[in-house]
Amino acid sequence: MSITHSIIQQDLSLDAKTLRRQFAHDVLKGLSQPHKSIPCKYIYDERGSELFCKIMELPEYYLTDCEKNSLDIHKDVISDTIGRGHSNLIELGAGDGMKTKILIRHLLERDHDFRYCPIDISESAVVNLSHCLNREYPALEIKGLVTDYFQGLAWLSQQNNSKNIVLFLGSNIGNFLPHEAIDFLKHLRESINKGDYLLIGFDLKKDINTMVRAYNDAQGITEQFIINILSRINRELGGEFDLDCFRYYSTWDALSGAIKSYLISTCDQKVHIRHLKTSFTFNHGEVIHTESSYKFTTDQCSLMAEETGFEIVENYFDDRNYFVDSLWIAI
């Protein structure tokens, strides 16, 4: 069997300079608004991706265990449904790919004919995952892409040769604003063909304390993860943030149905960011919104599928009904 293990598609990978320019632009825009914010995608540099891997192992962060449990229980029916013909198994926001390994192992054991295409903004995530899978499954064809979701979709639209099975796991969809999630899913639908599949993970609404605890772990790893965004600004944009002058705060927003995470200034301060040639003023108690993690009902998931050109094939729940991996078909 031929082995392909190519990691980066140069033509679509965003180069470091472009990424840095976008980062500078988005930070300037976000911190210049009356309600300051920084897009959460910038949390994921090498350190942020490492910290996220630690979060996924925390006892409080139930999402990962629930999704692994759901994939494990339903892997037979998932693999039977997607069928055996040659396919591209494309993962958006692959991260460390640990959940996906459950499916990959199962498909390989069942002699499915597929290649695995992890797409992630973090180069280290794609490189490490590709090396790790290549070591464990030398016969697995892997084509990794270092790019953001939207460039990833542009690449996806060119993959017409085989059936596409797109994985968007981990409730990554929950980090979009509701209207952005709809636009993204419509765009995704336009990038694939009728009959292609999307396996998408949603964290479901549940007991409030359980959800809040998942973002307020006892070891403070989530705090380090979120505050890393300020270290990244210091490192890459010449920022002068004193990390001790901000504290992490996250809470359940019942109206929007999301855990909202913030960094709160603990004093009156002015912070200069050299590459932006700008200083930003923070009053004591002023917040920077850093992340929203939306939670869903199964009715909301059905509406999203309907609105974006998909039909639900089946919902795969974990043992506790905390999480659902929903298999959608493009119609």
Binding site for ligand AVI (CB under 6 A): 55, 63, 170-172, 174-175, 215, 222, 291, 293
Q: How far apart are CA 267 and CA 37, in angstroms?
A: 18
Question: Which residues are CB-contacts of 9 (< 8 A; sequence separation ≥ 6)?
Answer: 143, 145, 147, 155
CB of residue 46 to ligand AVI, shortest distance in Å: 16
Q: In angstroms, what is the minimal distance from the CB of 111 to ligand AVI?
A: 32
Using CB positions, name the residue nearest to ligand AVI: 293
Q: Residue 262 or residue 280: which is nearer to ligand AVI going by CB?
A: 262
- Nearest residue to 26 via CA among 154, 161, 148, 208: 148
Place of tokens 């959800």: 211
The least CB distance from residue 173 to ligand AVI, in Å, is 8
* Minimum distance of ligand AVI from residue 93's CB (angstroms): 7
Q: How far is the CB of 58 from ligand AVI (least distance, A)?
A: 9
Under a CB-based contact definition with an 8 Å cutoff, are residues 114 and 88 in contact?
yes
Beta bridge pairs of residue 202: 324
Cβ-based nearer residue to ligand AVI, 40 or 107: 40
CB 203 within 8 A of CB 296: yes
Q: Of the two residues 164 and 222, which places its CB atom closer to ligand AVI in the complex? A: 222
**241 vs 234: CA distance, rounded Å:** 6
Nearer to ligand AVI by Cβ, of 174 and 239: the residue is: 174
User: Distance between CA 182 and CA 57 in Å, rounded?
Assistant: 30
Instruction: Using the minimum distance from each CB to ligand AVI, give the nearer residue, 175 or 228.
Output: 175
